[in-house]
Amino acid sequence: MNKKLLVVFSWLLLVRVFTVFICENSVTGLPPVKHAICTLATLFSADAVASTTQGKKIASVDDLKDKRIGVLLGSVHDSYAMKTFPNATILQYKTPSDIVLAVKTGKVDAAIYTYETLRDIFRTNDDLAILGSPLFSVPVGIGFNKTNNQLREQFNDFLRQIKKNGIYDNMINRWIIQGDTSMPEIKNSKANGVLTVGIVSDKGLPFLIIKDNKLIGLDAELAERFAAYLGKELKMSDMEFGSLIPAVVSQKIDMISSTLMITDERKKQISFSDEYYNLRASFFALKKNIVISSAPKSNKFSSLEDLKNKRFAVFTGTVHDGFVSRKYPNAQLMRYESTADMVLALESNKVDVALLDVITAGVIIKHNPELGILQEDVLNMPLGVGFGKNADDLRQRFNNFLQAIRGDGTYDDMYKRWCRGDPEQVVMPEIANGTGQKYVLGVSVDDLPYVAFMNGKYVGFDIELLKRFAARENINLDIVPMEFASLVPALASGKVDIITDGIAISEERSRMVDFSASYMEFRTAAMAMKSKIARYDNQPVSEIASGGFIENTIESFRRNIILEERWRIILDGLKTTVLISVLSTLFGTLLGSLVCFMRMSKNVMLSLPAKLFISILRGTPVLVFLMLIFYVVFASVNIDPVLVAVIAFGMNFAAYVAEIFRTGITSIDKGQSEAGISLGFSKVRTFLYIILPQTIQRILPVYKGEFISLVKMTSIVGYIAVQDLTKASDIIRSRTFDAFFPLIMVAILYFIISWVLMLSLEYLERKTDPKSKRKQAVIA
């Protein structure tokens, strides 16, 4: 019996020694094998059993004062733990995977590691969890030998370039925000030698990891792009974290690309590039060792993580669209064309949260106190002014101007007025327009602080910026409003020369247009109803004073029509809508008559093109056809957008009218044509005096319906920079955030237009009705 106990004890002792040797020392080999050995060995470990059976659970970071804390050897986490927890047992590990394994196997009670990497680790380790809030954040940079200033400056120039052209932001979005793990193909001439970069391959996503025998991650892509920038072949040197700095000091490697935190101590040994990210550090531990609150979980939102399967409102074609699609694939994405539409969707419970600029959100909440901010700094992106691909000179002139106003204090004054205070209270300075060459500026006119329409003129940070640029360069600036989604196509097709309105610089947009240097950072806020946000539970929600129906209607009329002379926008939009409707009808009727004649011809050379015209126009959505005419057919022609709208709507109307005319004509008995000819009439006179009057009388009811459809169809002309009634209401709603009055008012105006025009057609119908003529003759 004693022999058996001795054998068992010896095996346990051997397992214990083997566990310590494998798991607490850096042993090169296959990580999966090492992981399996440690996991099996730990099952027999007395320490592991004790860690789960003895001691209290961890409720907060304060409970770790006398516990075992795991850190990466030589890291900032190491020094932080030493200083902050002097009575704790600090266990140092050489690789990140060893730290995770130590926590899972009970070697430590908790460990400190990078918050961004932990989020990825938790995807495949659901038994781990964050303990408390992030501890601190530290900037990271690329490490260089102190004597290699040339390479360091080359990297800084490269970093500035990718931040300017949007590549950097695209990388941050893909690797950190969206959790994408696909490494892009980067072309490299490799003609200028070799660049040796020191890395730690198991740093963890989103920074560095080996996948399919290839290094991927933010640091890997950054190194590859820099090597391509230099035209050098990239050689990755994988080593222990503690060996990185000695390797670059001894010039064994050219630089370190491994999320190296910038500290004063490290600066004594190596030089750092400009910072390229801020890393956060957090404690993590086994879920079963963390105290979970027994309070019932609220259905209200505490952060964006509570919205993974909820409804998001975003602007069509913005970076938010792609951000939500990739980060929250199970969420329902609702795309809107204006801020006012998004506010209305929130208030009517069509969506759960809207993503907007944080300053714009503040303006909205001022008018809608029932809304609140769920989370700030959801996504930060640089903003730029867009220029055509062939306008390098104009773009460089703007960049020089931007640099100049940053230096003389003008920019700081503008930013303070528009972005730090209440943008609605800012008085737009009078800036004289230049008298030189004319350039067209495309804007969306949707929100402050960027672009708005107040007191009959355009205002906002972007407007003041471009007006100051125009004044300094003697440019005659013509401002044209359009839908946000139409800005980039309009610039790419040459319809406008410059675009601005809080446009984020992205890699996708940079393929279509050239951006200026960034003039501001777009900080995204998530906005929702306060009743859905947890942190507003104990705060009183402001109540909106409610009066009677008449009082509310009068106040809405004052805010939406009288205030800031907004009636002028409505009047201009009304004129444009009526003009387009009438001219499109006249043009479409004449063109439709011609197409009808060709369609009824026995000559195939005439009838075939007519049939094709009718089929194409009737089968193509009007909006698509309108944009094709404006951005493709007339791309190289400087033509008034109103005229383009008349042509497009007229052609569409003609396709339907041609068939209406043909149906009406063929409904007349052929015997009447024969009778007319037998009476001595020519074919033309027979048609004009006998067939046509009957045809008009028969087709007018259908023609009226098609005409009214045309009038309502004109509401989409805002996509080609025409300010009609609908666009006028959007501009007003972007200022008042009134959900209903502008829409109801525009609906009434459309009804009045349709009613008046229908009366004119009914008058024509009576004039062509034989029965009506006979009645008038009898009365006479």
**What's the count of helices (H) and strands (E) in the chain, helices before strands?**
30, 24
Q: Among the three residues 97, 132, 167, which one is the final residue of a domain in this structure?
A: 132
pLDDT (tens digit per residue) in 373-396: 998 878 888 899 999 999 999 999
* pLDDT value, residue 590: 95
DSSP 3-state assignment of 580?
A: helix
- For the record, the structure tokens of 424 come out as 């609605």
Q: What is the 3-state secondary structure (H, E, C) of 33-76?
A: HHHHHHHHHHCCCHHHHHHHHCCCCECCHHHHCCCEEEEECCCH
* pLDDT value, residue 32: 44
| pLDDT greater than 60 at residue 271 | yes
Judged by average pLDDT, the poorest of 193-197, 453-457, 596-600 is 453-457
With a CB cutoff of 8 Å and minimum separation 6, the contacts of 173 are: 319, 322, 323, 326, 379
Residue 557 lies in a domain: no
Residue 599 lies in a domain: yes
pLDDT (tens digit per residue) in 47-63: 443 344 345 688 888 88
Judged by average pLDDT, the poorest of 16-25, 415-424, 741-750 is 16-25
With a CB cutoff of 8 Å and minimum separation 6, the contacts of 37 are: 18, 22
* pLDDT value, residue 56: 67
One domain, residues 329 and 393: no
One domain, residues 482 and 574: no
| pLDDT greater than 70 at residue 19 | no
pLDDT (tens digit per residue) in 430-453: 999 999 999 999 998 877 899 988
Q: Is the peptide bond before 32 cis (omega within 30 degrees of 0)?
A: no
One domain, residues 615 and 666: yes
One domain, residues 618 and 765: yes
Query: What are the phi and psi torsion angles at 356 (to 5°)?
Result: -140, 165
One domain, residues 526 and 401: no
| pLDDT greater than 70 at residue 240 | yes
**In CATH, what number is assigned to the domain containing residue 479?**
3.40.190.10
Residue 400 lies in a domain: yes
Nearest to 197 by CA among 161, 166, 228, 162: 228
Range of the domain at 414: 385-517
With a CB cutoff of 8 Å and minimum separation 6, the contacts of 721 are: 442, 480, 481, 482, 486, 490, 495, 496, 641
Is residue 713 a contact partner of residue 622, using CB atoms and an 8 Å limit?
yes
One domain, residues 120 and 181: no
Domain count, the chain: 5
Residue 714 lies in a domain: yes
* pLDDT value, residue 739: 63
One domain, residues 11 and 61: yes
Residue 100 lies in a domain: yes
* pLDDT value, residue 680: 78
Helices (H), 108-166: 115-124, 149-164
Q: Tally the C-alpha atoms within 13 A of residue 701's C-alpha that lie toward its C-beta.
A: 3
* pLDDT value, residue 771: 62
Is residue 489 a contact partner of residue 627, using CB atoms and an 8 Å limit?
yes
One domain, residues 622 and 727: yes
pLDDT (tens digit per residue) in 744-767: 888 999 999 989 988 888 887 777
pLDDT (tens digit per residue) in 726-735: 888 877 876 6
Q: Among the three residues 282, 314, 336, which one is the final residue of a domain in this structure?
A: 282
One domain, residues 335 and 275: no
> What amino acid is encoded at 707 in this protein?
F
Residue 551 lies in a domain: no
pLDDT (tens digit per residue) in 146-169: 999 999 999 999 998 888 777 887
Judged by average pLDDT, the poorest of 68-82, 659-673, 731-745 is 731-745
pLDDT mean over 322-332: 83
Q: Among the three residues 102, 132, 162, which one is the final residue of a domain in this structure?
A: 132
Residue with tokens 């903003």: 383
Residue 92 lies in a domain: yes
One domain, residues 699 and 645: yes
Residue 227 lies in a domain: yes
One domain, residues 237 and 326: no
One domain, residues 63 and 189: no
* pLDDT value, residue 670: 81
With a CB cutoff of 8 Å and minimum separation 6, the contacts of 77 are: 71, 112, 113, 281
Confidence of residue 14 (pLDDT cuts 50, 70, 90): low
Confidence of residue 584 (pLDDT cuts 50, 70, 90): very high
| pLDDT greater than 90 at residue 580 | yes
